[in-house]
Amino acid sequence: LDWSVAQVSFFVRVARVAMSVQQLDAYLSSHSYLGHRQCVTLLDYTLCKDMQPFDPLVLPHLHRWHKHVSALMVRYPTCDVRGHTLLPGQGPALEGALVEQAAVECSRTRGATEAPETTRASDLLVALGVSFDRFPVSKDDVRDGESITLSFARQCGLQDDRAMLKSMVYDVEKGGEAPPVFVVLPGHAKIDTKALAVAGGFNRNHIKPTKPERATGVTGYVFGGTTVLGSRIPLRTFVDKSVLELTRVYINGGSTKLVLALSPGDYLRALVDGDRKPEIVEVSKF
């Protein structure tokens, strides 16, 4: 087994596969495994251990491969289903990129710090019976030219940040005497303060981003992990109409290390707090 592990380390360094998750997903659409055409290998095990689950709606074949190989690792850690020693495996030659580079590009590698098991946001969804997926993320993985929103989207396997929602906190009264409000937009959109003023009956000149320390005091969440769900103080919430056009939304999970993915309908249902309901408005500009 030690020899096989050494072999795998060698293949991980030299085997060439697709650079992007989309290319890997396309490859797995016609292949069951990465290391061999017919059986799972130590190469599959090695890569699978370094990746988090994939969104089945975005990368269905990678999702299938990861789920299947993860189950095999638990049941057959050192042999295949027939009891034979696992083959080292050799990655397919695609586009001239290293297997280890592909794993990094997947941006799903396990960071030094794991995402929290639960947050107030995830607890709320569980209590409501809402189905959702968890994606560990890290603020330390923000690359040059990326916003936190775009970085988190990439780490979730998304091509852009359209479905990665921004839950922003804004003061709408001079002096900050009144409670702030939440504004929820797609990640690539900017807020139209004039439209927000009209929608909420505010003075446009008084609409300002809430300072991080004040926002944390009101919501209970730190910057980069803010979400409407489970806010310490329920706030008036404005959701841009374009959010409803998405097939799936990704939101901060109440931590800078966690993103939650769910349907737009379930998200809006979770935003209802007694008589308080999210206000669907057009307050974005692109």
User: Mean pLDDT of all residues in the chain?
Assistant: 83
The pLDDT score that the predictor gives to residue 59 is: 81
State the Cα–Cα distance between residues 116 and 281, nearest whole angstrom. 33
What are the backbone angles phi and psi of residue 47, rounded to the nearest 5°?
-70, -40
Q: Which CATH architecture has domain 120-285?
A: Alpha-Beta Complex (3.90)
Query: What is the identity of the amino acid at 16?
Result: R
Q: What percent of the chain has pLDDT over 70?
A: 84
The pLDDT score that the predictor gives to residue 81 is: 76
Write the pLDDT tens digit of every residue in 108-139.
444 444 677 789 999 999 999 999 999 999 88
What are the backbone angles phi and psi of residue 174, rounded to the nearest 5°?
-65, 135
Q: Which two tokens stand for residue 26?
A: 């396309």
State the Cα–Cα distance between residues 30 and 24, nearest whole angstrom. 11
The pLDDT score that the predictor gives to residue 9 is: 44
- What ranges do the domains of the chain cover? 1-102, 120-285
